Amino acid sequence: MSYETLLVEQRGAVTLITINRPQALNALNAQVLADMSAALAAYDADPTQHCAVVTGSEKAFAAGADIKQMADKEAADFFLEDFFSGWTSHVAATRKPWIAAVAGFALGGGCELAMMADFIIAADTAKFGQPEIKLGVAPGMGGSQRLTRAVGKAKAMEMCLTGRMMDATEAESAGLVARIVPASDLLDEALKTAATIAAMPPMAAMINKEMVNLAFESTLTQGLVAERRMFQILTATEDKKEGMAAFVEKRAGVWKGR
């Protein structure tokens, strides 16, 4: 399957998705949304694929939603199309794990796309920001919500109100990114981490992801109940029997994915 705005390849059990609109610093237009939704849906549906990496170029992960595509639209168009909703209903709804590997600019929708991933690995060149205020708008793909949950109110508010960028070091210390690596190692490190995840029992990976994400949606009591039930459900899988037997027998587990 080929895409107009993405390069997609499979490296073993890892799907690598590269945003490929260099002429617009990977700005996220309707075609990128359609392609990204289709590529992640194909990844989710492919039983041979167990982790994905979404990346951009050296200069830009993505410099935001496509401003040229939005410039002449009217409020009624945005409302009637429920503009940006596909990022939530398709991209963020991916059930299997995926990592954002970010170098260069991750601004506006680019920062928001990175935050939809399960975690971010950043190159030392990465720059994150929500500069929508400078365009007379506000984040529309989750920036005000996910950034606040990731870095807390003080930094999120300052970034949204001033539009300033956060470099990789600040993003790591604030909790926005899992890890910083030299730009030249970004893809290798992200793929290596993805391969580690892809080698885990797949249902356990999906449920770990779901439970960590639930921590942002539930009370502690509700989250703890759900976590216990999920633990109990996982004990019914063949991979639980295999994982515990492999530990006792001092060998690597061989997963069935059920």
- Tell me the two tokens of residue 172: 């790591």
Distance CA 28, CA 31 (A): 8
User: Is 199 a known active-site residue?
Assistant: no
Tell the smallest beta-carbon distance from residue 105 to ligand CAA (Å). 4
Q: Is 139 in the site for ligand CAA (CB under 6 A)?
A: yes
Q: Is 109 in the site for ligand CAA (CB under 6 A)?
A: yes
Contact assessment for residue 115 and residue 104, using Cβ atoms and an 8 Å cutoff: no
The stretch near ligand CAA (CB under 6 A) out of 3-11, 140-148, 176-184, 213-221 is 140-148
Is the CB of 63 or the CB of 99 nearer to ligand CAA?
63
Q: Is 202 in the site for ligand CAA (CB under 6 A)?
A: no
- Residue among 8, 13, 17, 27 that touches ligand CAA (CB under 6 A): 27
Is the CB of 42 or the CB of 67 nearer to ligand CAA?
67
Contact assessment for residue 158 and residue 214, using Cβ atoms and an 8 Å cutoff: no
Q: How far, in whole angstroms, is CA 117 from its chain's centroid? A: 1
User: Is 58 a known active-site residue?
Assistant: no
- Residue among 86, 97, 143, 202 that touches ligand CAA (CB under 6 A): 143
User: Is 74 a known active-site residue?
Assistant: no
Contact assessment for residue 109 and residue 60, using Cβ atoms and an 8 Å cutoff: no
| Catalytic residue (one of 108, 109, 110, 140) | 109
3-state secondary structure (DSSP) of residue 253: coil
CB-based burial, 127-146: b 16+ in 10 Å, e otherwise: bbbbbbeeeeeebbbbbbeb
Is the CB of 80 or the CB of 248 nearer to ligand CAA?
80
Q: Is 141 in the site for ligand CAA (CB under 6 A)?
A: yes
| Catalytic residue (one of 27, 39, 86, 112) | 112
User: Is 140 a known active-site residue?
Assistant: no
Q: How far, in whole angstroms, is CA 190 from its chain's centroid? A: 12
Helices (H) and strands (E) in the chain, counts: 12, 10
> Residues 6 or more apart from 5 whose CB is under 8 A from it?
19, 20, 21, 29, 31, 32, 35
The stretch near ligand CAA (CB under 6 A) out of 49-57, 101-109, 117-125, 238-246 is 101-109
Instruction: Provide the 10 A C-beta neighbour count for residue 199.
Output: 17
The stretch near ligand CAA (CB under 6 A) out of 39-47, 102-110, 166-174, 229-237 is 102-110
Q: Is 61 in the site for ligand CAA (CB under 6 A)?
A: no
Q: Is 135 in the site for ligand CAA (CB under 6 A)?
A: yes
> Which residues sit at the interface with ligand CAA, rule CB under 6 A?
24-25, 27, 63-68, 105, 107-109, 112, 131-132, 135, 139-141, 143
